[in-house]
Chain A
Amino acid sequence: MTALTLALLVPWAAGLALVVLDGRRRAVAWTSVAALAATLAVLAVLAADVLRGGAVEYVTGGWPAGVGIVLRADALGVTFALLSASVVLVAAAGEAVVAVRERTFPGLLVLLAAGLNGLFLTGDVFNFYVFFEMAMIAAYVLTAYGAQRAQLRAAVIFASVNLLGSFVFLLAVAGTYRVTGTLAMSDVAVRIAEVPASAAVAVAVGFFVAFSVKLGLFPFHYWLPTVYADTRPAVAAVLSGAVANIGAYGLLRFGAGIFTDQLRFSATVLIVLGAASIVYGGVLAVARRRPAEMLAYSAIGQVGYVLVAVGVGGPVGLAAAVLYSVVNALNKTLLFLTTAVRGPLVAGTFVVGALSVAGVPPAVGFVGKLAVFRTAVDARSPTLVALLVLGSALSLLYLFLIYQREFWAEDDDEVSAAGDDARGEHTRSMSLRAIIVALALVLLVGGIWPEPLAALSAAAADSLAAEANGAAR
C-alpha cells in the first residue's frame, strides 16, 4: 500500500516543486533525474510486491468499495509503469547531460511520469481519465520544447488532435456510467454483460477510437508523422516510448480486461486494422527521406503488431501484445535518441535498434517478433504470417536506408542538411552517447536473457485473464 501511494506522491510532489524552479540550471535538471530514479525505485519495489503476492489494491479514504476511488496495481499496470518511467528517466538524463533549454522542461517530465503512474495504477475509469489528462497536458507542453516554428506547429497539431481523442474518451466514460451505473473497472467488467449489446459496443468503440488516436493506429495516425518528426529527439522519444503506452495499455485494459465480449466480437476488424497499420507504416517509411520522419512512420507500423496480437487474443496473444509494447517502446526510445547524435559508437547502437525493430536475434526485438509470430500461427492464418514477414522485411529495409544515409554518408552534407535544420545541430556529447549505448546494451541483454521479460508479460496477460474470468463468474 505504501509503495503504491509513494509511486504517485514522489513524482507528483517533486514535479510540482520542479516546475516552478528554473530547469535550465543544472542542479534542477539533475534533481528531476533523481526524482524519476526514485520513482523507478518505488515502482520496482511495488512490482516485486505484485509479482510475489498478487495485485495490490486499496480504496482511498478507507471508504467501502463502490464509494471510494480504487487504486490498484496488478502485473499489467506495473509492467507499463516501469516501462514508461524508465523511458522518461532516460530522456530526462539525456537532456540533462547536454543542456536543458527551457525552464519548465524537467518539472513537466516528472509530472508526465506522475500522470502515467496514476493511470497505470488505478482501478477506476474516471480516475484513469483524470491522470490521462494530467499526462497529456504535460505532453502537450513538452511537444513545444525547443520553441522553434516546427515544434510549435507540432504542438498545435498534437494538442488539437489529442484533445479530440480525449473528448471521445470522456464521452465513452460518460456512456459507461450511463449504461452500467458504476466507474470501478472490476464492476464495469461484471455489469457490461447485462447491458444491451448495441450500447456496450458503442461505448467500446469510443474507447477503441480514443486509444487508437493515442497510439497512432492506421486510420487515426494522421497527426503522428508531423509531430514525431518535428519535436526534439528527447521529446519524440518520450512521446513514442512513454505517452504511446497509454494507448497500448488502454487497449489491453479496456479491451481484454473489461469489454471482453466486444473484443471477441470485433477481433477480425482489429486484426485487419493492425495488418493495415503494419503495411502502411512500412511502405511509407521506405518512401521518406528524413530519419525522424521514417521513424515516425515506422512507429505507425510497429503498433500494428500490438493490435494484431490483441485481436487474436488468448493468453498467447495478450502476452505477445504486452511483450511487443515493451520491446517497441524501448526500440523507439533508442532510435529517436540516436537521431540527435553522431559518431561510430552511435552508429553501432543504431544497428542494435534497427535489428531489434526488424526482429533479428541478438536484440530483444527478436523475442517480441517471435511472440507475435506464435500468435499468428496460433490463429492459423497464413495470410497474417505472410503480412508479418512483409512488415519485418520492410522495417529492415527502411532502417538500413537510414543507416546508409546518416552514418555512412556522414560527410555528404546535402543528404542530412534538411533534417538538421529542423532539429538543431547534432551534438557529439560523450555522456549522451554513453546513455544511448547503455540503452542499447539493455536491448541486447534483453535479447540474450529474455526470461524475465517473458515472465513479466505472461504475468501481465494472466492478470487480465483473471480480471475477465472474475467478470464471467
Chain B
Amino acid sequence: MTAPGSSRGPTVIVRVVARLLLGPSVVVAVALIVKGYTKVGDGFAAGMVVGLAVALNAVALGARGAEEALPVLRHAPRVAAAGAALALVSGFFPLALDEPVFSHRPGPDEKVVSVGTAELMTAVSFDVGIFLLVVGVVTVLVHQLAEPDQEHPT
C-alpha cells in the first residue's frame, strides 16, 4: 500500500470522494433494506453497497489509514459473525414453534407494525443479518488482501 500523501498515492480528489461517499452509501443501503419485499432491494445488495464504499476507503487511505479514520472497521469479524447468527435465528426460529423453517412472523395477511416505511417482521431481521454478514466479510477481505496477518511464521 502506498502511504497517503506520497506523490504516487491516490489524489486528494479520490480521498475526499471516498470519505464523502461513505455517508450516502449507508443511506442507500438502509433504503434498499427498508423498501425491499414489495420493490427491488434486499440485504445482500445493501451489504454490497456499503462494502464497496469501505473498499474505496481502503484504496484511498490504505487499509491502516481507513481503520484509523473509521475505528468501527476493526469490529468487522464480530459484525459478520453477529449478522450470520441473526440471519440463522430469523430463519430457524419457527422450528421451536413446530412450523417449517423460514416461516415469517407476522405471517401473510397479518397486521404488520410499521416504523415509517420500515415493516417490523422477521424477513427484515433476516435481511439485516445478511447485510451485516456481507459488510463484515467484505471488510475482512479488504483488510486481509491489503495486509495479511502474520499468524504463521514460515
Chain A residues in the interface with B (C-beta under 8 A): 1-2, 5-6, 8-9, 12-13, 16-17, 19-20, 58-62, 68-69, 71, 102-103, 147-149
* Residues of the B chain whose Cβ atoms lie less than 8 Å from the Cβ of A20: 77-78, 81
Residue B104 at the A interface, CB < 8 A?
yes
- Interface stretch (choices B10-18, B24-32, B58-66, B93-101): B93-101
A62 contact from B81, B88, B92, B99, Cβ within 8 A: B99
* Residues of the B chain whose Cβ atoms lie less than 8 Å from the Cβ of A103: 151
Structural contact, A60 and B85, CB atoms closer than 8 A: no
* Residues of the A chain whose Cβ atoms lie less than 8 Å from the Cβ of B84: 16
Structural contact, B88 and A13, CB atoms closer than 8 A: yes
Structural contact, B85 and A62, CB atoms closer than 8 A: no
* Residues of the B chain whose Cβ atoms lie less than 8 Å from the Cβ of A19: 81
CB distance from A15 to the nearest CB of B (A): 10
Complex Cα gap A208–B78 (Å):
40
Complex Cα gap A145–B152 (Å):
11
Structural contact, A58 and B81, CB atoms closer than 8 A: no
CB distance from A35 to the nearest CB of B (A): 14
Complex Cα gap A102–B151 (Å):
9
> Across the A-B interface, how many residue pairs have beta carbons closer than 8 Å?
49
* Residues of the B chain whose Cβ atoms lie less than 8 Å from the Cβ of A147: 152, 154
Closest 3 CB pairs of A and B: A60-B102, A147-B152, A61-B102
Give me 15 other A-B pairs in contact (C-beta within 8 A), A147-B152, A147-B154 excluded.
A5-B95, A6-B95, A9-B95, A12-B88, A13-B85, A20-B78, A58-B100, A60-B100, A60-B102, A61-B102, A62-B99, A62-B103, A68-B102, A103-B151, A148-B154
Structural contact, A2 and B95, CB atoms closer than 8 A: yes
Closest to B77 in A: A20
CB distance from B145 to the nearest CB of A (A): 15
Closest to B104 in A: A61
Encoded as 1 (CB less than 8 Å from any A CB) or 0, chain B from 133 to 154 comes to 0000000000000000001101
Structural contact, A16 and B152, CB atoms closer than 8 A: no
* Residues of the B chain whose Cβ atoms lie less than 8 Å from the Cβ of A69: 102
CB distance from B94 to the nearest CB of A (A): 8
Closest to A59 in B: B100
B92 contact from A5, A17, A58, A68, Cβ within 8 A: A5
Complex Cα gap A6–B151 (Å):
35
B101 contact from A5, A13, A102, Cβ within 8 A: A5
Q: List 15 A-B contacts (CB under 8 A).
A: A5-B101, A6-B95, A8-B101, A16-B84, A20-B78, A60-B100, A60-B101, A60-B102, A61-B100, A61-B103, A62-B103, A69-B102, A71-B101, A147-B152, A148-B154
* Residues of the B chain whose Cβ atoms lie less than 8 Å from the Cβ of A58: 100
Closest to A1 in B: B100
* Residues of the A chain whose Cβ atoms lie less than 8 Å from the Cβ of B154: 147-149
Closest to B80 in A: A20
Complex Cα gap A58–B101 (Å):
10
Complex Cα gap A269–B10 (Å):
56
Complex Cα gap A19–B77 (Å):
10
* Residues of the B chain whose Cβ atoms lie less than 8 Å from the Cβ of A102: 152
* Residues of the A chain whose Cβ atoms lie less than 8 Å from the Cβ of B152: 102, 147
* Residues of the B chain whose Cβ atoms lie less than 8 Å from the Cβ of A16: 81, 84-85, 88
Most chain B CB atoms below 10 A, which of A2, A16, A59: A16
* Residues of the B chain whose Cβ atoms lie less than 8 Å from the Cβ of A62: 99-100, 103
Complex Cα gap A118–B136 (Å):
24
Q: List residues of B (82-127) whose CB comes within 8 Å of A's CBs.
A: 84-85, 88, 92, 95, 98-104
* Residues of the A chain whose Cβ atoms lie less than 8 Å from the Cβ of B78: 20
Closest to B107 in A: A62
CB distance from A142 to the nearest CB of B (A): 15
Q: A20-B77, A62-B99, A147-B152 are in contact. Are A9 and B104 (CB under 8 A)?
A: no
* Residues of the A chain whose Cβ atoms lie less than 8 Å from the Cβ of B77: 20
CB distance from B68 to the nearest CB of A (A): 24
* Residues of the B chain whose Cβ atoms lie less than 8 Å from the Cβ of A1: 100
CB distance from A231 to the nearest CB of B (A): 15
* Residues of the B chain whose Cβ atoms lie less than 8 Å from the Cβ of A2: 95, 98
Closest to B87 in A: A16
CB distance from A124 to the nearest CB of B (A): 13
* Residues of the A chain whose Cβ atoms lie less than 8 Å from the Cβ of B85: 13, 16-17
Complex Cα gap A6–B95 (Å):
9
Complex Cα gap A69–B98 (Å):
18
* Residues of the B chain whose Cβ atoms lie less than 8 Å from the Cβ of A149: 154
Complex Cα gap A61–B102 (Å):
5
* Residues of the A chain whose Cβ atoms lie less than 8 Å from the Cβ of B95: 2, 5-6, 9
* Residues of the A chain whose Cβ atoms lie less than 8 Å from the Cβ of B88: 9, 12-13, 16
CB distance from B109 to the nearest CB of A (A): 13
Complex Cα gap A1–B95 (Å):
9
Closest to A103 in B: B151
Complex Cα gap A17–B78 (Å):
11
